[in-house]
């Protein structure tokens, strides 16, 4: 636990489960925790899936990931969308620069790095860009933030903003459902990006939802479990359909209710730390897992041991990359982005003061 001691020390040691769950600090803590859980599950999933494609996988492990598939990436998108109303409160130049520096930049950097160093065919392969490979989520997030700029004029009108975002969610889910292009970046953006706008639509409602009666949450959880079980054998309950969207919504609702009630301690602090560094974990884990697999694939290891070693070493090296972030920051955010951000902030402040004088 000493490995995370400095990070954990910056957080409060404990938050009682009876503490109010609607304070801003509490919301940010549990949001980071959920994000950390989701992104670490992505690492575990890929550590199990890559051996499976080469006959070294464990069927039971793979079925567990099928059970989690309806919730994992929709949750990440939903949490990102919850922060959209606040982001749109900035000036358009501030908003655009912030998303370019922290999302577009690492997406381009890692598409090129992975394409040149690992992907067969390199970045010149059109299929690579049509699918986004493992970086599809980051590219979809870029598209969502780009589209969200159109909502800037209504950002100060919460009701209108929520209605428009809800409409976008429904339209994107239905468009994905009726699309016939399989596994393209466009389809993934339509389906998972819909949850980004759903998160933006629900941002103001979550504070009330976390105080919902236990009986309602238990009922929703039971339905989510049933639908997730159906999804083990029926893909329509896992991905790309209104049925899978319903499964995801129910699961997200239950998790949003539970997360603020989880007592904070050393383990939750680790998860929050992972959540705050989710961009590093996401972009680095897959190349590392592939390299580990390539080193191990000639070993005649038992499938369970093989998957376990890929998971343990993949997770350890990924978390090491997070620790190295102060020395490798340019891989995840545009170099010296603070200078541009400061100038834009000063310009916005100056413009605001001039308007006040007039």
305-326 pLDDT, tens digit per residue, is 888 888 899 999 999 999 999 9
User: Could you tell me if residue 165 is inside a domain?
Assistant: yes
Q: Is residue 238 part of a domain?
A: no
- Which residue segment(s) compose the domain that 113 sits in? 84-202+328-358
Q: Determine what percent of the chain is predicted with pLDDT higher than 90.
A: 65
Q: Residue 119 — φ and ψ, nearest 5°?
A: -70, 130
Q: What is the pLDDT of residues 231-266, one digit of tens each?
A: 988 888 888 999 999 999 999 999 999 999 999 899
**Cβ–Cβ under 8 Å, residues 223 and 230:** no
Q: Where are the alpha helices (DSSP H) in the chain?
A: 5-9, 24-52, 59-82, 84-87, 92-99, 105-117, 126-131, 136-148, 158-177, 185-202, 206-209, 214-231, 242-258, 266-276, 278-296, 303-323, 337-357
Nearby residues of 13 by Cβ (< 8 Å), 6 or more positions away: 264, 265
Q: Considering the domain boundaries, does residue 131 fall inside one?
A: yes
| 314 assigned to some structural domain | no
Q: How many separate domains does the chain show?
A: 1
Cβ contact 132:139 at 8 Å:
yes
Average pLDDT over residues 328-353: 88
pLDDT at 151 over 80: yes
Distance CA 250, CA 230 (A): 14
352 inside domain: yes
Q: What is the mean pLDDT of residues 209-216?
A: 94
Whether pLDDT at 335 is above 60: yes
| Total-model pTM | 0.88
Q: Is residue 105 part of a domain?
A: yes
In a domain, 78, yes or no: no
Average pLDDT value over all residues in the chain: 86
Transcribe 172-200 into DSSP letters.
HHHHHHT---TT-HHHHHHHHHHHHHHHH
Judge whether 343 lies within some domain: yes
Asked if residue 203 has pLDDT above 90, the reply is yes
Mean pLDDT of 198-219: 94
């Amino acid at each position: 636990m000493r490995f995370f001691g400095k990070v954990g020390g910056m957080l409060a040691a404990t938050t009682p489960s009876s503490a109010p769950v609607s304070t801003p600090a509490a919301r940010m803590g549990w949001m980071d925790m959920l994000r950390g859980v989701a992104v670490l599950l992505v690492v575990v999933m890929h550590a199990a899936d890559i051996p499976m494609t080469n006959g070294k996988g464990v069927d039971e492990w793979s079925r567990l990931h099928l059970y989690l598939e309806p919730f994992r990436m929709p949750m990440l998108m939903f949490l990102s969308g919850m922060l959209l109303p606040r982001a749109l409160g900035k000036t358009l130049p501030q908003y655009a620069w912030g998303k370019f520096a922290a999302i577009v930049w690492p997406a381009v950097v890692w598409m090129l790095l992975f394409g040149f160093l690992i992907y067969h065919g390199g970045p010149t392969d059109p299929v690579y860009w049509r699918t986004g490979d493992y970086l599809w989520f980051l590219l979809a997030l870029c598209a969502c933030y780009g589209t969200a700029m159109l909502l800037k004029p209504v950002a100060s009108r919460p009701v209108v903003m929520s209605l428009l975002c809800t409409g976008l969610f429904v339209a994107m889910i239905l468009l994905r459902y009726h699309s016939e292009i399989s596994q393209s970046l466009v389809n993934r953006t339509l389906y998972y990006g819909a949850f980004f706008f759903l998160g933006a639509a629900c941002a103001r409602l979550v504070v009330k939802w976390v105080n919902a009666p236990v009986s309602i949450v238990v009922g929703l959880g039971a339905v989510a479990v049933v639908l997730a079980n159906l999804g083990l054998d029926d893909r329509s309950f896992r991905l790309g359909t209104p049925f899978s969207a319903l499964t995801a919504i129910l699961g997200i609702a239950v998790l949003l209710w539970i997360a603020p009630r989880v007592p904070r301690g050393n383990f939750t602090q680790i998860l929050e730390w992972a959540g705050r560094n989710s961009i590093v974990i996401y972009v680095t884990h897959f190349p590392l897992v592939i390299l580990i697999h390539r080193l191990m694939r000639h070993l005649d290891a038992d499938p369970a041991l093989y998957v376990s070693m890929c998971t343990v070493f993949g997770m350890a090296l990924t978390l090491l990359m997070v620790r190295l972030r102060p020395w490798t920051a340019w891989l995840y955010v545009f170099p010296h982005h603070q200078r541009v951000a400061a100038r834009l902030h000063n310009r916005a402040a100056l413009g605001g003061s001039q308007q006040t004088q007039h």
